Each structure stands twice: as structure tokens, then as C-alpha cells.
Amino acid sequence: MRLHRTTPQRTAPSLILLHADVVRESQDAVRRAPAIEVGGKFVGFVIDPAEAVSNPDGLVGQYSAWISSRRPTAGVALVILGSIPSGPKARATATSLIPDTGFQLASFRELEGRFPEIEHLGSWHSHHPNGLGSFSAGDHAHYSSAVADPNFNLDFFLAGLCFDQRGLSSGIFALYRRESPDVPVQIGPREVFVVDGLASLAAPIRETSASRVSDQPGDTPVVAAVAAELQRRLGSWADRLVEDDAVSWIYRGWGKGNLDIVITHGSASPESAGMSLRRRGGGIDLSCDAAGPIRDLARLVRAIDSAAAISAQISSHRSGGTRGGEK
Ligand SMILES: [Zn+2]
């Protein structure tokens, strides 16, 4: 993913670490999109025990220390700490996935500014909508040409494939090498060591993705009116979440302050939006499709208010309530 080679040729890795956040992202992505292929670009670090670590407190330093204490005989390690989503303009069907490469490259560049040693290590996708039990001929052609491309920064490329909601925890992997791009090395799931409890790149990738999507919540007349009403009553949105297939805006503090309202636009149908009302600590109390039956803003706001009132009653009952009056 770079235009110029900046690191020396590397020997193939003998240890592959996969952060549990990436496994969870693959599981969530499959769950959210049952009918289309999902995937992402693997990013992380190549850690060579023969090279000095410039910053022991940085991410590379933390993983170097982890490897030298747990796997002291390991050679070069490939440490996958994040997955850059396919992006808002990705095109996906039940049998194909064409990522938004502009989005992925811009995200990578921004991450590189924060983590100079970051590398594009490979990619993963899912065959859950089509049941194809191995990499397709098209997948194979794509990966072998990716690793053979002189602009690709490494001499190897890890491809991951998953099949169901277990995501990459039960997936298969293949390592493509520049020295023989057509002959991938098959790697079983047990040869990929899942690490948890150390930092990952999940949060920086989410922040980067959010900064790349400038859409506003109200892109249809109904949602624009709802967003204006939310802004009037709650102020501007507090959080924006960008996922593979949807963007959500979260407004906090409806009702007696314990309810959040989430507006979601799916990239598969950007002309419609969903809304949900969530009580802090769990439970979705109301959700609707803004392109669906609720077209009247006043009715919608009344519905939210009554759901908020019911929700407040339920939580006051649960917490022992206001027996004997307030105070
Ligand atoms: Zn495939």
C-alpha cells in the first residue's frame, strides 16, 4: 500500500499474532451483514527480533516484549492489530466484495502518521453468504498479484477467510510470498495465535474512519427534521460510529437523561435511515425506519417521549424507585 519501499526485504514470518479485536470485528461484520460478503485490510507490525526497538513504550515495543517473554525462539512475527473497513463506497454482493480503495488508502496514510512502523499485512473477507469453503480462483489471483506488485511494501501477504459468525476465530489463512506468488502456504487457525489484553489499533482505526466520512445524519427530509429536533433538545450529536456497512450518530440524554438516540445510515441503502432509542445499560426500547411508516415528525417525537417515560418508570421500579416521594 505504499508507493516507495521504505523497509528492507524481510524473511517470511514464523509467528502470526492476531489481536482479539480483529476477530471480534470479523464476527460483528458477519452478524451485521448476513447477505453480503464483508472484509477488511489487515494492518499491524512486522517485528523482527534482530532489529532494535526505538520506542519500548510504543505498540511495537509492547509486542516485542510480549513475544520475547512468551515466544523467545520466534523469528520474524507478523502482528495483526487492526482491520481497516471496506469503506463507505465498497460494493458487495453475496459473492464479491470490492472495497473502497480510496478510503482504505487515506485511512492507512493517516494511521501511518500516528504509527510510523505500521504495515499493510494482508486482508480478510467472508464467504458466509455463499458457502464457498475455500479461497476462490479470483481471490487467489488477487492475492498473488498483490504480493508480486513491486509497490507492495512487504514480501508476504496474509489472506484470511471466514465462513460464519465465528469470524476469523474459525477461519483459514494463507500466506502469499513474493518469491513464489502462485504457491501460497496454507496456515491453519491454530497456527494463528490470538492475543487479547494488549492494545490494538481498533480505536485509532475507528477515529480515522470517522474523520473520512463527512455525511451528516439528516440526509433525507424526515431524518433531517428529526436531527434538527434532536439538536434543538440535546445539542449536537455526541458520537459518530463508522462501521463497514453503516454510519451512526448518537445523541445522548433524552428523557430523564438516561436515553440515547441513535440514527443509522446503512451504506447499502443510504436513502433511508434507521432510528433507535437505547436505555443506558442495555435494551433497545424503540426502533424504526425513518423511510418506513413513521413519516410525521411530531408523532415520532411523541412516540420517543412516551417510550422515554415508560423506560424511566421501568428503571425507577428496578432501582427501588421513588417510594415515599423524591428526597
Ligand atoms: Zn472470496
Q: Is 209 exposed, middle or buried (0-12, 13-18, 19+ CB in 10 A)?
A: buried
CA 40 to chain centre: 8
Q: How far is the CA of 181 from the centre of ligand 1 (A)?
A: 17
Q: How far is the CA of 112 from the centre of ligand 1 (A)?
A: 28
Q: How far is the CA of 144 from the centre of ligand 1 (A)?
A: 14
Q: How far is the CA of 152 from the centre of ligand 1 (A)?
A: 21
Q: Which residues contact 83 (CB under 8 A, 6 or more apart)?
A: 22, 25, 26, 40, 41, 42, 43, 124, 205
Q: How far is the CA of 139 from the centre of ligand 1 (A)?
A: 5
Q: Which three cell numbers stand for residue 311?
A: 423506560
In 36-114, the DSSP E strands lie at 39-47, 77-85, 91-92, 97-98
Angstrom CA distances, 19 to 199, 206, 232, stand at 9, 15, 41
Q: How far is the CA of 293 from the centre of ligand 1 (A)?
A: 38
Distance, in Å, from the CA atom of 72 to the CA atom of 261, rounded to the nearest integer, reads: 49
Please state, as a whole number, how many other Cβ atoms lie within 10 Å of the Cβ of residue 302: 11
Q: How far is the CA of 1 from the centre of ligand 1 (A)?
A: 20
Check: CB of residue 36 under 8 Å from CB of residue 93: yes
Q: How far is the CA of 204 from the centre of ligand 1 (A)?
A: 27
Q: How far is the CA of 273 from the centre of ligand 1 (A)?
A: 29
Q: Which residues of 236-253 are buried (b: 16+ CB within 10 A; e: fewer)?
A: ebeebebbbbbbbbbbbe
Q: Which residues surround ligand 1, an ion (CB under 5 A)?
A: 136, 139
Structure confidence at residue 248 (pLDDT): 79
DSSP conformational letter for 170? G
Q: How far is the CA of 135 from the centre of ligand 1 (A)?
A: 5
Q: How far is the CA of 235 from the centre of ligand 1 (A)?
A: 44
Q: How far is the CA of 127 from the centre of ligand 1 (A)?
A: 6
Cα angle, residue 60 at apex, residues 54 and 63 outer, rounded to 5°: 130
Q: How far is the CA of 254 from the centre of ligand 1 (A)?
A: 43
Q: How far is the CA of 63 from the centre of ligand 1 (A)?
A: 31
| Full 3-state SS string of 238-292 | CEEEECCCEEEEEEEEECCCCEEEEEEEECCCCCCCEEEEEECCCCEEEEEECCC
Pairing of strands 172-177, 180-187: antiparallel
Check: CB of residue 46 under 8 Å from CB of residue 79: yes
Q: How far is the CA of 74 from the centre of ligand 1 (A)?
A: 31
3-state SS assignment for residue 49: coil
Half-sphere exposure of 228 (CA within 13 A, CB side): 9
The candidate with the shortest Cα–Cα distance to 67, out of 57, 52, 79, is: 79
Q: How far is the CA of 96 from the centre of ligand 1 (A)?
A: 7
Distance, in Å, from the CA atom of 222 to the CA atom of 289, rounded to the nearest integer, reads: 10
| pLDDT tens digits in sequence order for the chain, 327 residues long | 444 444 545 667 889 999 999 999 999 889 888 888 999 999 999 999 888 888 888 999 999 999 999 998 888 999 999 999 988 777 788 899 989 888 899 899 999 999 999 999 999 999 999 999 999 999 999 999 999 999 999 999 999 999 999 999 999 999 999 999 999 999 877 789 999 999 999 999 988 876 655 456 665 666 677 777 778 878 777 776 766 567 777 888 877 777 788 887 765 554 556 777 777 766 555 566 655 544 555 566 676 777 767 766 766 666 554 443 333
Structure confidence at residue 9 (pLDDT): 54
Distance, in Å, from the CA atom of 325 to the CA atom of 125, rounded to the nearest integer, reads: 56
Q: How far is the CA of 289 from the centre of ligand 1 (A)?
A: 32
The candidate with the shortest Cα–Cα distance to 246, out of 276, 268, 271, 229, is: 268
